[in-house]
Amino acid sequence: MELFFEFLATLKNTVVDVLPILSIILGFQLLVIRKPIPHVKQVGFGFIYVLIGLALFLLGLEKALFPLGKMMAEQLTAPEFIHSGEQVLKTIHWSDYTWVYVFAAAIGFSTTIAEPSLIAVAIKAEEVSGGAINANSLRISVAIGVAIGIALGSYRIVVGHPIHYYIIAGYVVVVIQTFFCPKLIVPLAYDSGGVTTSTVTVPLVAALGLGLASTIPGRSPLIDGFGLIAFASLFPIIAVMAYAQLTQAKAHQAVRTIEKRKRIKINKRKLKQKQQEPTKSSIQDKQDR
Amino acid sequence: MNQQFLVFLKALLGSCKDLLPIILVIAFFQFAVLQQPMPNVGDILVGLVLVVLGLTFFIYGLEMGLFPIGESMAQAFAKKGSISWLLTFAFCLGFGTTVAEPSLIAVAKEAASVAASGGIIDDTLASQLSYANGLRFTVAFAVGLAIVIGVLRIIRGWPIQYLILGGYVLVVMMTMIAPSWIIGIAYDSGGVTTSTITVPLVTALGVGLASAIKGRNPMIDGFGLIAFASLTPMIFVMLYGMVIS
């Protein structure tokens, strides 16, 4: 029963969040387009499903995953865990935090796989591309990008480098990739950067950044705690373009191997013919004798 | 009825698969690395069931409601042929969905306390509030503008890479001159703007427009709206920081 009331409260919040969008859609539909919404019943039910789904999703996250994930981020970054009971030294070494990087990558990957807005974009991309882009492969490459991004971002907080060097270097990679990448994937890759950081990823990643920045001597949680999300939205762009490049390279290779096989076959045939000719003549020779 | 149930069951199974990585990661770190027992197992199980159900409902509703409405509106605007109304709609959609975005409100609040403790603004509640609100409206305006630019790009068929790369150059140049305390917040603000409901709607809008306008490819021209929405806030927040200091 208590759970039900909690659900109602979450549902109310979700509805309030959606209200501006809903009023803009309805306002333009009724005042500017001035046509009834096609399949209005189905669309209405769809909206209700989305709201109920989001409310359940958020409530479940609050109940199960967020407290645990946040606690883990705190425990993994706590000095007691890092230095395993030894005296805390003033200077820290980046390799003391190996488990933090592993956790950052793992949590980045797994939360991205569950991110609803990424699922939406992946479904649309598969539909629009006629199946040329596989929804699951797209999601996995985005997730790998987020994993690398958050691990690198945690490393940056530990060593204390200024953020803009990393971001600018990332931009340079994106620019170079853009020129060598299949044109079809470029807009989708750019989009995937913004999509990844949403309901599931942001709270957990923010907890990780805050935990790291507040336990490492010399880092300010308020200044260094920011910036992980920027990493999580830059690296998926690189990852998706890399995935497209790999697929393209594989396709080229496949074409090349097929051509190679053909050539080998033709050569073999020619060889056989050449070999057969003398044998024929030898048989004839025998017959002649 | 039976078949519908089967479809639902399949979707439920899909959601379970989507969640499996998180469960594995958390279980691994809890048992193997931190070596602690799982606290309140009952709560966690209930929560997981809710998350799976929620994801299933969301995806169901997505294809029933959000995608169709986005595409049908795009087609209606394309048929109507009024670019100014379309751009107004684009701006409203971007601005309206961002200004009330909970994660943006949270980030703006946090940013205000950074600024107050750093002595950039007065350490009073009123000035913190006005700073946070300023940040929120800046980001919302930037997202509105982004959707407008993105829609204009789809209509005119401009190649996306030059616009985005131009934006990157602008971000880099602004980073050089903007005050250092705003940079982390500015970079993050690009990521937090796009919510779970905005993304499918905006994607459907873009794809719908690109398929309704002759000569546009939905794959090349339809995607990219969200990319703009995560780029412009960085530029505008840095600008905001420069104006304030």
A-B contacts at Cβ under 8 angstroms? 335
Tell me the torsion sign for CA atoms B218, B8, A65, A199. positive
Closest by Cβ to B50, choosing from A63, A167, A198: A63
Quick one: pLDDT at residue A238? 95
Mean pLDDT over B209-231 rounds to 90
| B172 contact residues in A (CB cutoff 8 A) | 164, 168, 171
Residue of B19, B59, B64, B137 to mutate when probing chain A, most A C-beta within 10 A: B64
Quick one: pLDDT at residue A122? 93
Contacts of A125 (CB under 8 A, 6+ apart): A133, A135, A138, A188, B219, B223
pLDDT at A284 over 60: no
Q: How many CA atoms lie within 13 A of B155 on its CB side?
A: 18
Mean pLDDT over B125-131 rounds to 86
**B69–A43 CB contact, under 8 Å:** yes
| A227 contact residues in B (CB cutoff 8 A) | 184, 187-188
Per DSSP (E only), the strands in B23-162 are: none
Which ranges in B81-124 belong to alpha helices (H)?
83-99, 102-117
Quick one: pLDDT at residue A86? 55
**pLDDT confidence tier of residue A64, bands split at 50, 70 and 90:** confident
Residue of A nearest to B182 (CA): A223
Rounded CA-CA distance A66/B241 in Å is 32
| B29 contact residues in A (CB cutoff 8 A) | 72, 76, 103, 106
**pLDDT confidence tier of residue A237, bands split at 50, 70 and 90:** very high
- % of chain B with per-residue pLDDT over 90: 33
- Tens of pLDDT, residues B28-57: 888 888 888 877 788 888 989 999 999 999
**B72–A116 CB contact, under 8 Å:** no
Which stretch of A111-125, A131-145, B95-109 has the lowest confidence by average pLDDT?
B95-109
Q: Taking every pair of C-alpha atoms in chain A, what is the biggest distance, in angstroms?
A: 106
Quick one: pLDDT at residue A177? 93
Quick one: pLDDT at residue A193? 83
> Helix-strand-coil percent breakdown of chain B, rounded to 5?
85, 0, 15
Whether A59 and chain B come into contact, CB under 8 Å, resolves to yes
| B60 contact residues in A (CB cutoff 8 A) | 46, 49, 53
A14, A17, A23, A29 alpha-carbon torsion, rounded to 10°: -70
- Tens of pLDDT, residues B77-91: 888 888 899 999 999
Residue of B35, B36, B58, B71 to mutate when probing chain A, most A C-beta within 10 A: B58
**pLDDT confidence tier of residue B142, bands split at 50, 70 and 90:** very high
Q: pTM of this prediction?
A: 0.86
Task: Supply A269's token pair.
Answer: 């045939």
Region for B101 from its dihedrals, namely left if φ exceeds 0, alpha if ψ lies in -120 to 50, beta otherwise: beta
Q: What is the ipTM of this complex?
A: 0.87
Quick one: pLDDT at residue B153? 93
Residue B145, phi then psi, degrees to nearest 5: -60, -40
Rounded CA-CA distance B227/A221 in Å is 28
pLDDT at A142 over 90: yes
